[in-house]
Structures are given as C-alpha cells and as structure tokens.
Amino acid sequence: MSMIRLALAQQPAPGDPSRRLPLLRQWCHEAAADGAHLLLLPEMWSTGYAPERMNAVHAWDDDEPVLAVVARLSGEFGLAIGFTYLARRDGALRNRLRLYGADGSVALQYDKVHICDFTEGTETALQGGDSFVCADIALGGETVRVGAMICFDREFSEAGRALMRQGAELVLVPNACLMREDAELGDVRLQQLRGRALENRFAVALCNYPAPQYDGASCLIDARGRLLALADDRPGLLFADLELDALRNWRAMQEEVWGEPGLRPDCYR
C-alpha cells in the first residue's frame, strides 16, 4: 500500500509579519513529527488575504528573503511546503502558490488564473496567471503528479479538466472563502469540489482559513468524490492520508468505462 500523508494548515495569518516564520517552523515540526509529506497553507497566507494588503507594498519578488527561509525549512524537515503569497512579476501582482519539494527546491509554481472581481474589489489590483500547471513531485517515496487551483479557479470546470488532461493525481487548492456556511449557497462550494474530483478522477486537498475569517472545512477528497477528511471551523492542522494505489486503480478502471480524456474533443469546441 502506497500512502501519502498531508497536513492542511487551517490557520490564520499573523498580523505581525515577524511571527510568520516562527509559526511556519512550528507547523513544519508538527507536520513532520506526525509523518506528513506535504504541508499546505490557505490562499495568500503572506497577507492573510486581507484587502488592505492587496497592493505592491506587500508583494514579494522572487528574491524575497522569506522565500529562501521557506525553502530551507522544506529541506530541514524533509517536507514539501505549499506556500502562498502575493507575488510581483514584471511589475504586476499575482496570487501565487509555490510548492517546495522536500529537498528545498521549487517543484511547482502556479499563479491564480481566475481573479475575483466581486463587489468589494478584493483582487482587482491583481493580474491573472497564464495557464494551469502540473509537476511530478516526490512525496513519501512516491512520485505523484500534482496540480493546483486557487480558490475561485475551482468554480470553473475547465480548470479541473485542464489539470486532468495533464495527468494530475492530486490537486492542491489554497482557499479563502466560505465553503459550507455561505448565506446564499450553503455548502454548495464543498459539494461542487467533490464533483470536480469525481469528474476528473483526481484527489483534491483544500486548505481554508478558520473562523471568524471564513469557515474552515479544509478537506481531502478522493478521486471518487468522497470526503476522506474534513475540518471544522477552528484553527489547527488537519492530517489526512491518501492511498495512491487505490486512486490509480480507480482511475484505470474508469478509463475503461469513460474512455481516455478528450475522447470527443469535436463536441467541446
């Protein structure tokens, strides 16, 4: 049995920037001590997804010293870290997930494609990313095909399909919104994500902010759309195990039934 263990840091971002790295080190220690292979943070944790910090003053270039420390933490603890931050690229601001491998190298980098333009204009200063990406990541002695969506991206079926067509087995979803207690939608976003996993035959790991900022519900969903782990709304680390053999066997069986991805591209122009 090939198992990978995930730690989802359903934690608020500290208002004091000097507390970021000590907290991250603490969570890395706890995750590694519990046998986790990957630690994931909520969306844009460097700013706490605060509208007043969604500007150039709080954006980081690639040579930001904090990023170098995150890379060293990955290597020190032998732990992949999905770190989220407000990035600066060619003068434009982007909502970024950078996944460091257990050796401290950058294994995957993804900029949120679907920027939110809601009434409060939280992300209107940001530029959308260029594409959806996947990479082969070493996790717990296994090579796993990992992709990413960030929050609003998961609302679009095309995002999941783009990752599925690249062979994604596990999709990481840093998040910052209500997932099951929305006044208008209830838990539709959570159920929608379960459907996204099923229709694309990949597992999904979502990490959200706890109450009172949002409502938690960080979770691991398998390729059948089943909830393997689901957090309440309190701060904490959610540990969840994903059995790769079961996922891969399910995918192989479903390909016999549904056919290969993109079987009828002529019908979806």
- Backbone CA torsion sign across 3, 262, 111, 114: negative
CA Rg value for the chain:
17
Residue 153 near residue 112 (C-beta atoms within 8 A): yes
CB count within 10 Å of CB 122 equals: 16
d(CA 159, CA 153): 6
Q: Residue 230's closest CA among 222, 245, 240?
A: 240
Residue type at position 83? F
Kindly list the distances between the CA atom of residue 108 and the CA atoms of 45, 244, 269, in Å, as whole numbers in the listed order: 17, 20, 29
- Paired tokens of 33: 């001590």
Q: Give the pLDDT confidence score for residue 168 in this predicted structure.
A: 97
Residue in the block written with tokens 């004091």: 16
Q: Give the pLDDT confidence score for residue 261 in this predicted structure.
A: 54
Q: Give the pLDDT confidence score for residue 19 in this predicted structure.
A: 93
With a cut of 80, say whether residue 256 has pLDDT above it: no
Q: What is the pLDDT of residues 11-47, one digit of tens each?
A: 999 988 899 999 999 999 999 999 999 999 999 999 9
Its pTM stands at 0.94
Residue in the block written with tokens 């459907």: 195
CB count within 10 Å of CB 151 equals: 24
Cβ neighbors of 115 (< 8 A, separation 6 or more) are 95, 123, 124, 126, 127, 128, 152
Q: What is the pLDDT of residues 159-212, one digit of tens each?
A: 999 999 999 999 999 999 999 999 899 999 999 999 999 999 999 999 999 999
Q: What is the pLDDT of residues 54-113, one digit of tens each?
A: 899 999 999 999 999 999 999 999 999 999 999 999 889 999 999 999 999 999 999 999
Q: Is 43 exposed, middle or buried (0-12, 13-18, 19+ CB in 10 A)?
A: buried
Strand partners, 5: 241
Q: What is the pLDDT of residues 126-160, one digit of tens each?
A: 999 999 999 999 998 999 999 999 999 999 999 99
Element (H, E) at 174: strand 170-174
CB count within 10 Å of CB 171 equals: 28
Using pLDDT thresholds of 50, 70 and 90, give the confidence band for residue 264.
low
- Paired tokens of 257: 């039934």
CB count within 10 Å of CB 15 equals: 9
- Paired tokens of 9: 């840091």
| 3-253 CATH choice from 3.30.450.40, 3.60.110.10, 3.90.700.10, 2.60.40.150 | 3.60.110.10
Q: Residue 200's closest CA among 244, 139, 150, 250?
A: 250
What mean pLDDT do residues 228-241 have? 98
Residue type at position 129? G
- Paired tokens of 185: 């939608």
Upper half-sphere CA count for residue 252 (Cβ side, 13 Å): 6
